[in-house]
Amino acid sequence: MSLLSARGGHWTSDGTGVTVIIPPPGTVASGEVRGGAPATREFALLEPTRLVDRVDAVVLSGGSAFGLAAGDGVMGLLRERGMGLPTPAGPVPIVVGLSVFDASVAALVRPDFAEGGRRAAQAAFDGVPFEAGRVGAGTGATTGKWRERLDPSGIGMAEGRAGDASVVALAVVNAWGDVIGPDGRPLSAPPFDPAAAPAAAPFPTANTTIAVVLTDAKLDKIGCNWLAQSAHTGFARALHPAHTRYDGDAVVALATGELETPVDLEHLRAVTSEVMAAAIRSTA
């Protein structure tokens, strides 16, 4: 599936991995966290009030906070290629990271995430075909933990159009809840009883869904922030429960600005919600 004009690459290890998205120069970015247990790197700079309005890479990883080291490897490779925010000391790559608590953490697997990040970024530059499924950051992802299940998940992708604008959503689905269809019924588990209490969480923070939404529309940083909010609406449509205290749900929105035709932001947001829900459901 297309990532529009962005590049993408994976590094897959034992029960974990890294996925890197490298947008074209000039891409505007923002994002939003709605879960209670995020593992992120440089996410604060995505707020609309912050000075920097671009990113050089978005790094999705397994390994919980350990996996955020993948950003170091990506940053090193980008610096070698002369990419980054110009400063008197040379370019400083702006690398945003998001991580999920996947199977590798429980198994005490400690791969070299920095090297994995570098390899994933190199795969993106080399044009290795980008795939969804149990690869990269989605390798050790599972869902249904609120009912003491471990339903296999992974990376999901979907795309749509809002007028002349294209929208692509990519999600690493490692949720505490279930993936649900448009009718509200779980796609990978038996129907649940709304009156029944969820299972007690022996280690409730071992979850999180992280995502990237890309569009070729021209948006400013505030517009990208609105787009990230709408992507979270897609989370709520395709996950139950979503945005819990036990999930670090986070979205980065990227607007490449290649489309010169004006786009109605609310139309774009409505499509983004549907596309994100479809990307999440594709993992079930």
Relative orientation angle of helices 70-80 and 113-126, to the nearest 10 degrees = 50
Q: Which domain holds residue 249?
A: 7-281
For residue 276, which amino acid is it? Answer: M
Is residue 199 scored above 70 in pLDDT? no
Q: What's the pLDDT band for 203 if we cut at 50, 70, 90?
A: low
Instruction: Name the 3-class secondary structure at 143.
Output: strand
Residue 277 is assigned to a structural domain of this protein: yes
Residues 6+ positions from 240 with CB-CB distance below 8 Å: 177, 178, 180, 184, 186
What does the angle CA 15 – CA 127 – CA 111 come to, to the nearest 5 degrees? 25
pTM as predicted: 0.95
Across the range 195-218, mean pLDDT stands at 79
Q: In whole angstroms, how far apart are CA 145 and each of 152, 193, 199, 217?
A: 11, 15, 8, 37
Please list, residue by residue across 85-107, b when 16 or more beta carbons sit within 10 angstroms of its beta carbon and e when fewer do.
eeeeeeebbbbbbbbbbbbbbee
CATH number at residue 275: 3.60.70.12
Consecutive H or E run containing 116: helix 113-126
Residue 220 is assigned to a structural domain of this protein: yes
Residue 1 is assigned to a structural domain of this protein: no
Q: What is the pLDDT of residue 218?
A: 97
**Residue 220 contacts residue 28 (beta carbons within 8 Å):** yes
- Six token digits for residue 255: 């607007």
Residue 45 is assigned to a structural domain of this protein: yes
Measured CA to CA, the distance from residue 50 to residue 112 in angstroms comes to: 31
Higher pLDDT: 71 or 189? It is: 71
Consecutive H or E run containing 133: none
Consecutive H or E run containing 12: strand 7-12
Residue 244 is assigned to a structural domain of this protein: yes
Measured CA to CA, the distance from residue 112 to residue 54 in angstroms comes to: 27
Q: What is the pLDDT of residue 195?
A: 64
Residue 15 is assigned to a structural domain of this protein: yes
Residue 93 is assigned to a structural domain of this protein: yes
Per-residue pLDDT of 80-128, as tens digits, reads: 999 999 999 999 999 999 999 998 887 777 899 999 999 999 999 999 9
Which residues are bridge partners to 160 per DSSP?
167
Is residue 196 scored above 70 in pLDDT? no
Across the range 60-85, mean pLDDT stands at 97
Measured CA to CA, the distance from residue 90 to residue 211 in angstroms comes to: 30
Per-residue pLDDT of 129-166, as tens digits, reads: 999 999 999 999 999 988 888 899 999 999 999 999 99
Q: What's the pLDDT band for 62 if we cut at 50, 70, 90?
A: very high
**Residue 83 contacts residue 56 (beta carbons within 8 Å):** yes
Quote the percentage of the chain above a pLDDT of 90: 85
Consecutive H or E run containing 97: strand 95-99
From the list 159, 155, 157, the residue with the least C-alpha distance to 216 is 159
Across the range 71-87, mean pLDDT stands at 96
Q: What is the pLDDT of residue 202?
A: 53
Q: What is the pLDDT of residue 77?
A: 98
Residue 238 is assigned to a structural domain of this protein: yes
Q: What's the pLDDT band for 31 if we cut at 50, 70, 90?
A: very high
Is residue 198 scored above 70 in pLDDT? no
Number of domains in the chain: 1
